[in-house]
Structure 1
C-alpha cells in the first residue's frame, strides 16, 4: 500500500461527510422543533465549514495511521467473537444482536476515549488543542467540530489500543462507529430532547452540556462520549436537574470565527495571555 492513496482519502472524506451531514441535520431538526437555545445561522455555516476542514485533515491522518499499522505488521492480541454468544436463526433477532454488539463495542471504545478526554483536560499541550472545541459558545449539532489535530490524538490514545482487539463479527465495528458518529452530534445539539432513564447508560445532550459549562462547579465532569457508565464508575458524573441548562464556552476565549483562528487557536499566544490575565486559572 502506498503511504498516500488519494483515492482512498477521497472516499474516506465523502463517506465521513455524508454521515456527518445526515446525523447533524437530523439533530438540527430536533433543535428547531424542541429548542433549548436559538443560535445564529452564521454559526451553522461556520460549523459546516469547520467540519469540512476537520474531515479533510482527518482523512489524511487516518490514512497514514492505517497504512502505518499495516507496514509495521501490528496484529490484534485479543479476538472477541460476538457470534458465539449473540446468534439466532431469526434474522430480525440477529439484527438486534448486531446493534447490541455494536453498543458493547462502543462502550469498550469509550473507555479509552474517557481517559483520553481526561488527559486532554489535564495536560496543558493537549488542553490547548482541545480548548478549540470547548471555546464554542453557539454549540449545536453542526457547530461542534474539534481542532484539526483531534484525529491524531484519537489515533494514539483510542485507535491504537482498539487495533489490538479483533472483533470477529464484521457488522459490529460498523454499527459501533455509526452509533458513536450519531452520538457526537446528539450530545452537542441544542435541543431539550433527552434520553430519559437511558441516559444512565447512553450520554445525551443535557448530560454532555455540563461538560461544556462555564460554571466552576461543573468543571471536570461528564467526560464520556458515548456512554455515561465510565463517568459513573470513576465518579465524574454530574446529573443535571430538569431545568438546568448551562451556558457553554470559555469565559475569556471566544470561539474561532475565521479559518485562520480555527487552525491557530492552540498557538495564539496573545489569546492565551489574555485568558490568563482575565481569569487567573485555566478554563475547562
Structure 2
C-alpha cells in the first residue's frame, strides 16, 4: 500500500471490512447531520440577533449566508481532518491544511455573495420554480434519488467541460495543482464555483422548489462526498464492489494524478458509473493513492496568486 510523503513512516491501516465500513460511514453521516443542524441553529440565532439590532434585511441575509457557508465548511471538513491526522500522523499538519482553509473560505465568501445577488435579482423579477416538490405526489418518494442522479449527471458534464475548454481549465487548474490533496486542502477557485452556481445550482433551483426536508439527506451526502473524495485516508476507501457504483477517495485521487495514463479519467463526483457509461473510467486497485498535482504548473504561492492566476498569462 502506498504512503504519502507527509507520513512519518508508519504504514496506514488496512482497508476496513464491509461491516466496519458501514458502521464508520453511518457514524460519519450522523455526526455530519448533527453538525449541520447545529450550524443551522446558530444561523437562526444569528438571524434573530441581527433582526433585534435592526440590521437591514439584505445585510442580514448576506451575513447569515456567509456565516452558514463558512461554518458548514469548517465543521464538515474537520471530521475528515481528524481522521486523516489520527491515521497518518502528519508531521507538517499546519502546512498541509493552512492554505486550504484560507483559500476555501475566500472562495466560499465570494461565491455566496454572487449567489445571494443572483437569487435576489431573480426574486425581484418574480421568477419562480417551475415545479413544487409538494405537488409531485408519489414521485416525491423517489425525489432524493432523482435529484442525486440529475445533479450527478450535470456535474459530470460540467466537470468534463472544465477540462476541455481552455478558458474553463484556467479556473479548474487551481484545484488540480494541489499537491498532498486532503479533505480541507481541496479548494477550487471562486471563478469555478460561480460557474457551478450559474450552470447547475440556478437551473435546479428554477426547475423545482425543493423544501429542505426533501433534500436534507441529499445535501448531507454531497457535503460528505466532496470532502471524503479528496481525503487522504486510505483505510476509508470503499470496498471494491461498491466503487463500481460510488466514487470514493481512491477513485477520485486518480482523477488528480500526475500519471498521464489517467488524464481524462474519473470525472464523476458521486456516481462512478457515469464514467463507465461515457467511457472515462479507470478503476483503481485498493490502496492506490497516486501523487497529485500538475507537472510543470507552478503551485499557488499566495492569496493574491490564488485570486489572480486564472486571469494572467498561461502558466
TM-based fold match above 0.5: yes
**2:132–2:210 contact (8 Å) kept in structure 1:** yes
Q: Counterpart in 1 of 2:273?
A: 229
Match of 2:196 in 1: 154
Q: Secondary structure at the match of 2:190?
A: coil
Q: 1:227 to 1:38 in 2, by over 3 A?
A: farther
For the aligned residues, what is the CA RMSD?
Answer: 2.5
State how 1:82-231 maps to structure 2 within 5 Å. Answer: 84-85=137-138, 101-166=143-208, 170-192=212-234, 193-196=236-239, 197-231=241-275
Q: Return structure 1 stretches of 4+ with deviation > 6 angstroms.
A: none
Q: 1:167 offset after TM fit, Å?
A: 5.1
Corresponding residue number in structure 2 for 1:46: 99
**Would you say the 8 A contact 1:231–1:237 is kept in 2?**
yes
Q: Deviations over 1:184-207 (max 9, x none)?
A: 110111110112233333221111
Aligned residues of 1:106 and 1:179 also touching (Cα < 8 A): no
What TM-score do the two structures reach when normalised by structure 2? Answer: 0.74
The change in CA–CA distance for 1:111 and 1:38 in structure 2 (over 3 A counts) is farther
Cα distance change on mapping 1:143 and 1:34 into 2, 3 Å: same
2:73 is matched with which residue? Answer: 20
Gap change, CA 1:111 and 1:51, over 3 Å in 2:
same
The separation in 1 between residues aligned to 2:80 and 2:196, in whole angstroms, is 24
1:101 Cα deviation from its structure 2 partner: 4.7
Structure-2 change in CA distance of 1:86 and 1:195 (3 Å): farther
C-alpha separation between the residues in 2 aligned to 1:237 and 1:68?
Answer: 40
| SS state at 2:292 partner | coil
Aligned length: 257
CA distance in 1, matches of 2:237, 2:135: 30
Distance change in 2, residues 1:209/1:82 (3 Å) = farther
Larger CA deviation: 128-137 vs 172-181 = 172-181
CA contact (8 A) 1:78 1:165 kept: yes
Q: Which runs of 5+ in 2 are unaligned?
A: 1-56
Matched, 1:11 2:64: yes
Identify the range of structure 1 (160-169 vs 138-147) with the bigger mean alpha-carbon deviation: 160-169
Distance 1:160 1:221 in 2: 27
Q: Which runs of 5+ in 1 are unaligned?
A: 88-96, 276-284
